[in-house]
């Protein structure tokens, strides 16, 4: 089997007395965008800083392409690009000077640096600002430079800590598009406390609460984590709610006004079909029927509660 890009084994970290991360294990076997989701203080930055070798864990192991970040830090770091929450920008440098410096720090061979910097400026759409001092760029463009420094050496894994934090809505969309583009060729881990962000760009989700991993899977699995428990029904010629209650499997009928109802049930199996069939047979004139999924926010709240 191919080696996992990232392997985190029983990771725990303690700042002085308080445990910020407690016994987290997960594996990232392939390409895609992995969202590390959690509320403020959940432990996201701690996990990312440890994965990137910026912070030494109290317990557990992190392997990057099989290289242990503690035992072989240089080998592990070769495969990683990192944009921490505060982008490490030298704002008195021009964009090109800074990226050249970053490539040098990443130990790229001298002869490859110039073309790598050209390529990354093109990729991140900052070519036209190559000679501008970083301090004179907007927040969105400074973030592009931060992303560029994380990928200039073409790492297999890129880690972004809250990459859209503090940006305006247009800048957020631009940065998300750039991250999706970057992820075509490599694995991306990004942290966020915004559920919509996970939905917008992530393929996989790791959710951390109170330093513990409470969910790991695809975004679709997360959406289905709490199965649909109600059905929305709108009829043009509705009967009394008591009549709807008679449909097999229905356990509750809530009137929403305007001949609209929220139907509860215990077993999803067949209820939808039976409601459609009863509507047709009794000429209730079905206008709309759809299962209602728990919102992402409900799932988030439920999982957060489990961690407490
Ligand atoms: N240097 C530090 N010293 C002591 N405690 C810390 C330190 N850094 C973080 N913590 C604590 O560890 C816990 C996890 O913090 P962390 O920054 O990893 O969370 P986070 O999920 O990234 O939150 P945020 O989104 O607010 O950055 C928090 O309780 C935080 O207060």
User: What does the pLDDT look like over 208-260, one tens digit per residue?
Assistant: 988 999 889 888 888 766 566 789 999 999 999 999 999 999 999 999 999 99
Give me ligand 1 centre to Cα 132, in Å: 34
Domain end (from 176, 193, 223): 223
Please check whether residues 259 and 199 belong to one and the same domain.
Answer: no
Residue 199 is predicted with a pLDDT of 85
CA atoms 121, 159, 87, 97: torsion sign: negative
Residue ranges making up the domain that contains 99: 6-223
What does the pLDDT look like over 87-101, one tens digit per residue? Answer: 889 999 999 999 999
Tokens of 252: 């509750």
Q: Cα–Cα distance between 207 and 196 in angstroms, integer?
A: 14
For ligand 1, which residues put their CB under 6 angstroms from it? 15, 20, 38, 40-46, 193
Q: What is the pLDDT of residue 62?
A: 96
Ligand 1 atom 31 nearest Cα: 41
Supply the pLDDT for residue 308. Answer: 56
Pocket test of ligand 1: the residue of 15, 190, 307 to mutate, having most ligand atoms within 8 Å of its CB, is: 15
Asked whether residue 136 falls in the same domain as residue 276, the answer is no
Please state at what angle helix 139-151 crosses helix 110-123, rounded to 10 degrees: 140
Query: For residue 211, which atom of ligand 1 is closest to its CA?
Result: 14
Question: Which residue's CA lies nearest to atom 3 of ligand 1?
Answer: 15
Cβ–Cβ < 8 Å for 244, 74: no
- Distance (Å) from CA 20 to ligand 1 centroid: 7
Query: Is 300 part of any domain?
Result: no
pLDDT of 177 reads: 93
Give 197: exposed, middle or buried? Use CB within 10 Å, 0-12, 13-18, 19+.
buried
Whether 282 is covered by a domain: the verdict is yes
Number of domains in the chain: 2
pLDDT score, position 305: 67
Question: pTM higher than 0.80 for the full model?
Answer: no
Whether 153 and 281 map to the same domain: the answer is no
Mutate which of 13, 37, 42, 304 to test ligand 1's pocket (most atoms within 8 Å of Cβ)? 42
How far is ligand 1, taken at its centre, from the CA of residue 44, in Å? 8
What pLDDT, on a 0 to 100 scale, did the predictor assign at position 195?
80
- Same-domain pairing of 175 and 53: yes
**Ligand 1 center to 8 CA (angstroms):** 19
Residue 209 in domain: yes
Nearest residue (by CA) to ligand 1, atom 2, is 15
Cα–Cα distance, 8 to 225 (Å, whole number): 24
Which residues does the chain have with pLDDT short of 50?
Answer: none
In this structure, what CATH number is given to the domain that contains residue 271?
Answer: 3.30.70
The DSSP output letter for 203 is: S
Regarding whether 264 and 134 lie in a shared domain, the answer is no
Sorted by sequence, the CB contacts under 8 Å of residue 62 that are 6+ apart come out as 6, 7, 8, 9, 11, 50, 51, 68, 69, 70, 76
187 in the same domain as 135: yes
Q: Answer whether 236's CB lies under 8 Å from 288's CB.
A: no
Q: What separation in Å is there between the alpha carbon of 211 and the centre of ligand 1? A: 9
91 plus 234 within the same structural domain? no
Q: What is the CATH number of the domain that holds 185?
A: 3.40.50.300
Residue 24 CA to ligand 1 center (angstroms) comes to 16
Average predicted confidence (pLDDT) for the chain: 90
What strands lie across the sheet with 286-292, from one edge to the other? Answer: 250-257, 260-265, 230-235, 286-292
Same domain, 95 and 236: no
Residue 303 lies in a domain: no
User: Of ligand 1's atoms, which has the minimum distance to the CA of residue 43?
Assistant: 18
Residue bearing the CA closest to ligand 1, atom 26: 40
Q: Which of 223, 243, 274 is the last residue of a domain?
A: 223
């Amino acid at each position: 089997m191919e080696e996992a890009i990232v392997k985190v084994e029983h990771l725990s970290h303690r700042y002085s007395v308080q445990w910020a991360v407690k016994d987290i294990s997960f594996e990232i076997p392939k390409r895609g965008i992995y969202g590390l989701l959690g509320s403020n203080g959940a432990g996201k930055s701690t996990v990312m800083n440890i994965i990137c070798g910026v912070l030494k864990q109290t317990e557990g192991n992190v392997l990057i392409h099989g290289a242990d970040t503690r035992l072989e830090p240089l080998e592990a770091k070769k495969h990683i690009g990192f944009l921490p929450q505060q982008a490490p920008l030298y704002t008195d440098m021009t964009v090109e000077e800074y990226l050249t410096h970053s490539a040098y720090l990443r130990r790229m061979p001298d002869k490859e640096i110039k073309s790598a910097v050209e390529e990354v400026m093109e990729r991140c759409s900052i070519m036209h600002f190559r000679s501008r001092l970083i301090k004179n760029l907007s927040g969105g463009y400074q973030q592009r430079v931060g992303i560029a420094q994380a990928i200039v050496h073409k790492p297999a894994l890129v880690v972004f800590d809250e990459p859209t934090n503090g940006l305006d809505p247009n800048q957020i969309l631009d940065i998300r598009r750039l991250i999706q583009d970057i992820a075509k060729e490599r694995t991306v881990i990004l942290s966020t406390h915004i559920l919509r962000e996970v939905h917008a760009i992530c393929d996989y989700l790791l959710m951390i609460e109170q330093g513990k991993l409470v969910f790991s899977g695809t975004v679709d699995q997360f959406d289905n984590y709490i199965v649909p428990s109600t059905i929305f029904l709108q009829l043009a010629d509705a009967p009394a709610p008591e009549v709807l209650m008679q449909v097999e499997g229905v356990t509750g009928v809530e009137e929403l006004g305007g001949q609209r109802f929220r139907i509860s049930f215990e077993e999803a199996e067949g209820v939808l079909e039976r409601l459609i069939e009863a509507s047709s047979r009794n000429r209730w004139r079905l206008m709309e029927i759809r299962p209602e999924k728990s919102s992402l926010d409900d799932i988030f709240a439920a999982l957060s509660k489990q961690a407490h």
